[in-house]
Amino acid sequence: MARGCGVVRGAGGAVGARREGAALGGRRAFCGARGRVRGCARVAPPRASGGDGARVIATLPGDGIGPEIMNVAVKVLETVAEGEGVSLRFEEHAIGGDAIDKTGKPLPEETLEACKASDQVLLAAIGGYKWDNLSSKDRPEGGLLQLRAGLDCFANLRPATLQDELLEGSPLKPEVIKGVDIMIVRELVGGIYFGEPRGFKDADGDRAGYNTMVYKKSEVERIARVAFEIAKARKGNLVSVDKANVLEVSQLWRQTVADAFEADGCEADGLSLSNMYVDNCAMQLCTNPSQFDVILTGNIFGDILSDQASVITGSLGMLPSASVSSPGKPGIYEPVHGSAPDIAGQDKANPLGMVLSAAMMCRYGLNEPEMADIIEDAVKSVLAKGYRTGDLMGASPAGAELTQVSCSQMGELLLETIAEEEIMVSFMPK
Ligand code: NAD
């Protein structure tokens, strides 16, 4: 199933003129949501896999609330792409329980091949009670792991960005977390979760379980280079997190990151690099999280730190993520939460984590930072006006005037906000 949208870039004079205005930073002057216009990260340079010059987005709605939140994200992307003169085509495929029902497999061959051939993959959520009795390899979750492996997504990007309007939703004090905007870059396919040997054995009449934490230089270099590109698109402050005071694997990690930083001339690009032990980082995330910009770390440390950092920002329904591969290959952009079967089909889901994942796709996958800025600003603006899905009602200051909205209403509000801003920008001096 394919949905076309947008105007091919440069095709219309009006579209071209508006893009120029946005690139000059005028848009930010109007909405004032960000201090600076962020640059492009070359994590995945744009391809155009559609024969007509359109970039193809493989959409995988999956299960539970997946189709509801995907619907909102696609409408937002269509609207912003059209306004910015970017040509996108959406092609929907089955994954998870939906795919099991249709084909017997959580990741049909056809879906994997379509994702490989696409420019980027947008995934909502998979799983549900209906498939809970299947063996672990046949369950919907298996489809997600197979997709990540099939696309060789070795880097996981998890932002923890606090929306000021949701300050009260955090378990930390408002004065500690104000302004938190962290990106955690986690190595996803190596380290202790995959290292060999692993298993159980008898040890001197006792029983032992063991795993191996191992990283090759080449694995560290490729994830470090993703972090460098991300840092270039942000404030430029990179902290590499390890346990080099105890672990040899961390000593290799630290040296390799430093060597790659120097070899790539990152300092001349305005980046700074420092190192932090993982235990200290866990503490600093609670006591002074706003010191961080980009955190680069391995698989197990990233797993723990990214969950810790995400809690700072309050609500599960707000959190986007990306799993990316080598430049030029498609990445997977998806909210952190699951398929929320308890509220599926009731139009109650919060679509903002999904919408912010679409913004990440624009920034890091499609190299369209203006589109990402517009989407992120629209989310901020709708929250600032007091609109909340049910899950966010408790995360707001006592006495604040709030309006509870459904998933689809939140989508409509985003579209209205984007349209209002387009009108303001069109009045800007060219
Ligand atoms: P969940 O994230 O689906 O839900 C946890 C709680 O948060 C629920 O109360 C749910 O209603 C709420 N919630 C989650 N997202 C929400 C949103 N966008 N708006 C409003 N409320 C939201 O986690 P779970 O209940 O542990 O798992 C449910 C299913 O999702 C399981 O089958 C699990 O395997 C699967 N899962 C999938 C993914 C994924 O697709 N990446 C991730 C986690 C869990």
What residues does each domain of the chain span?
1-163+315-430, 171-313
Ligand 1 atom index nearest CA of 340:
3
Is 178 tagged catalytic? no
Tokens 């600032």 sit on residue: 384
Q: Which of 132, 164, 279, 342 is catalytic?
A: 279
Residue 335 and residue 407 in contact, taking contact as beta carbons nearer than 8 Å? no
Q: From the alpha carbon of 407, which atom of ligand 1 is closest?
A: 19
The architecture of the domain spanning 171-313 is: 3-Layer(aba) Sandwich (3.40)
Query: What separation, in Å, do the N-terminal and C-terminal C-alpha atoms of the chain show?
Result: 39
The 10s digit of each residue's pLDDT in 126-152 is: 999 999 999 877 899 989 989 998 999
Looking at residue 354, what is its pLDDT? 98
Dist. CA 352 → ligand 1 center (Å) = 14
Q: How is residue 89 written in tokens?
A: 């085509």
CB burial of 121-147 (b: ≥16 within 10 Å; e: otherwise) equals bbbbbbbbeebeeeeeeebbbbbbebb
57 and 3 in contact (C-beta within 8 Å)?
A: no
Cβ of 163 below 6 Å from ligand 1: no
Q: Where are the beta strands (DSSP E) in 13-167?
A: 55-62, 88-92, 120-125, 155-161
CA dihedral 282, 288, 293, 295 (to 10 degrees): -10
Rounded to the nearest angstrom, the distance between the alpha carbon of 178 and the centre of ligand 1 is 27
Pocket mutation for ligand 1, best pick of 133, 337, 379 (most atoms within 8 Å of C-beta) = 337
> Is residue 333 flagged as an active site residue?
no
CA distance 142 to 126: 10
What is 1-163+315-430's CATH number?
3.40.718.10
What 3-state DSSP class applies to 25? coil
Q: What is the pTM of this model?
A: 0.83
Integer-rounded Cα radius of gyration of the chain? 22
Please determine whether the domains at 1-163+315-430 and 171-313 fall in the same fold group of CATH: yes
**Per-residue pLDDT tens for 155-164?**
999 999 988 8
Sign for the pseudo-dihedral over CA of 406, 409, 411, 413: negative
360-402: pLDDT as tens digits: 999 999 999 999 999 999 999 999 999 999 998 876 666 778 9
> Which among 339, 342, 389 is the best mutation to test ligand 1's pocket, defined by most ligand atoms within 8 Å of the CB?
339
Any ligand 1 atom below 6 A from CB of 347:
no
| Structure letter (DSSP) for residue 148 | H
Interaxial angle between packed helices 299-312 and 278-287, expressed in degrees from 0 to 180 and rounded to the nearest 10: 10
Which are the contacts of 162, defined by CB distance < 8 A and separation ≥ 6? 170, 177, 178, 179, 180, 181, 312, 313, 314
Alpha carbon distance 397, 165 (integer Å): 8
147 lines ligand 1 (CB under 6 A): no
Q: How far is CA 428 from CA 19, 189, 378, 421, in A?
A: 12, 47, 18, 11
Percent with pLDDT over 90 in the chain: 71
Ligand 1 midpoint to CA 338 (Å): 3
Alpha-carbon span 211 to 103, nearest angstrom: 36
Q: Assess whether 232 carries a catalytic annotation.
A: no
Given this model, what pLDDT does residue 8 score? 36
Ligand 1 atom nearest 353 alpha carbon: 18
Q: Which of 303, 373, 377, 391 is catalytic?
A: 303
- List the one residue out of 8, 11, 9, 23 whose CA is nearest residue 425: 23
Per-block mean pLDDT, blocks of 10 residues, the chain (430 long): 40 30 29 35 57 91 98 98 96 98 97 98 97 88 91 95 83 89 94 93 95 98 96 95 98 98 98 98 96 97 90 84 92 95 97 97 94 96 94 75 96 96 66
User: Which residue puts its alpha carbon closest to atom 44 of ligand 1?
Assistant: 338
- pLDDT on residue 20: 31
The residue contributing the CA closest to ligand 1 atom 23 is: 338
- Residue 342 is predicted with a pLDDT of 96
Cα gap 334→124, rounded to integer Å: 6
Of 259, 248, 264, 261, which is closest to residue 215 (Cα–Cα)? 248
- Determine the atom of ligand 1 nearest the C-alpha atom of 96: 40
Residue nearest to atom 9 of ligand 1 (CA): 340
